[in-house]
Amino acid sequence: MMPYLLGLTGSIGMGKSTTAGFFAAAGVPVWDADAAVHRMYGMGGAAVAPITALWPQAQNAGAIDRTALKAVIAADPTALGQIERIVHPLVAQDRAAFLAACTADIAVFDIPLLFEKGTEADMDATLLVTAPPALQRARVMAREGMTEPQFQTILSRQMPDVDKRQRATHIIETLSLSAASACVTALIGYIREVRHA
């Protein structure tokens, strides 16, 4: 039986990584899109050679230097599209390999741009992790090196939370760790009930 595919998403500072951790702690395998990209940018990663071929300055000691890559993107408006054309197929392969190896009844796919990229079409259901704007802002601005312009740029690339709420199958508000954890436990139970009904 194929695992039940749950797409997990949420804007920056909403508690998505923490929520993914609750699924992992409950024994549900989690595929993390950001972690997959980190592996591809790391030493010997699949994206290193093709990106280096286009922008040699983005490589440092056999890995992609994300700060240098950000500078490339800032200097060249076409760079982001080119990078996405390299990285997205590699990420899709990584996701497919994870799924092929998955023996669990539920698999969670932690994908920041789930709705923006239309990936929810590949899922059985979606889970949006959200929080009030003031709490989101406080969490993000507490991150080391985060500036107001950076925060606004990140937000501008993400679908507004209100739109995501309308598209999501399930929603968890991460007001407290204990409440979010309890919601994850309840959702896992609900999915298993529905699957075996």
pLDDT of residue 172: 97
7 neighbors 125 (Cβ within 8 angstroms): yes
Mean pLDDT by 10 residues, the chain (197 residues): 94 94 98 96 96 95 94 92 94 95 97 93 97 94 92 90 96 94 97 87
pLDDT of residue 56: 95
Q: Can you tell me the distance from the alpha carbon of 116 to that of 164, in angstroms, rounded to the nearest whole number?
A: 9
What's the first-to-final CA gap in the chain, in angstroms? 14
166 neighbors 8 (Cβ within 8 angstroms): no
Residues 6 or more apart whose CB falls under 8 angstroms from that of 88 comprise 117
Query: Any idea where the domains of the chain sit in the sequence?
Result: 1-29+106-192, 42-101
Fold of 1-29+106-192: Rossmann fold (3.40.50)
Q: Can you tell me the distance from the alpha carbon of 28 to that of 181, in angstroms, rounded to the nearest whole number?
A: 13
Rg (CA), the chain: 18
13 neighbors 137 (Cβ within 8 angstroms): yes
Q: Can you tell me the distance from the alpha carbon of 103 to that of 80, in angstroms, rounded to the nearest whole number?
A: 35
Site of tokens 């598209």 = 167
pLDDT of residue 197: 72
pLDDT of residue 77: 86
Structure tokens at 157: 């690339």
Q: Can you tell me the distance from the alpha carbon of 163 to that of 157, in angstroms, rounded to the nearest whole number?
A: 13
Residues 6 or more apart whose CB falls under 8 angstroms from that of 183 comprise 172
How would you classify the pairing of strands 59-60 and 63-64?
A: antiparallel
